[in-house]
Amino acid sequence: MEIARLVLDYLQVLIWPVVVLAICLALRKQLIALLTRIRHAELPGGVVVDLDQEIKEARALSAKVQEQPTPEQKKGPSIPLTEANARLIQLGLRPSPSGLDMSYYRDLAWQDPNVALAGLRIETDIQARNLAKGFNIPVGDRDSGARLIRRLRDKGAITENQMQLIMKMLHVCNAAVHGTPVSQEEADDVVDSAVVLAEQYLAWLSWGFDDGWTPRTEKTDG
């Protein structure tokens, strides 16, 4: 009887792991499909986004954009980040949520990577509208950032690589907005790609308008 009781106790300990394993084996195809969907977000309109691939391509495009000169780029002083929003407001453009300082989104990614990319998505839309206004491209209330970016490319205001980089960033940001889990490392990769664009955007604010404006080169006390 003692041996029988020991065997029974042993079986009771093993029964739930065995049941769980049996369920996993029976539903292994469904579990694999579920895990795959986590990394492959389906957005409204049937667009499927592979986060790993999009981030990898964004890193490669970021390097190309950094090496390639922007259209009609002129040499001149760049704007300190502290002046970015003042310049945007002076030009009648919408100010940047981050002040065009991408470290704002990197810091936010420490708290919530998805929220950081949602903010970067808003930032991208705002700057696309600003660029369109600066290059005299009509902007409708329902025009998305992606649509305006294509119009800017068609007009030659931005390069093909710049457009492709922005689109990759938007794909990942949209996936984050719609609930696809994003790690801090992945969010940092996207923000790093955005740094190149922010630097070129600051340069555009320096030379893109014929109003005789020059950025302040040093701060004064008082």
Please check whether residue 88 is in contact with residue 159, taking contact to mean a CB–CB distance below 8 angstroms.
no
| Model pLDDT for residues 101-159, shown as the tens digit of each residue | 999 999 999 999 999 999 999 999 999 999 999 899 999 988 999 999 999 999 999 99
- Give 43's strand partners: 47
Least confident range of 29-38, 141-150, 213-222: 29-38
In terms of phi and psi (left: phi > 0; alpha: psi -120 to 50; beta: otherwise), the region of 179 is left
Triad 99, 101, 105: Cα angle to 5°: 105
Chain-centre distance of CA 58, in angstroms? 9
Mean pLDDT, range 71-97, rounded to an integer: 76
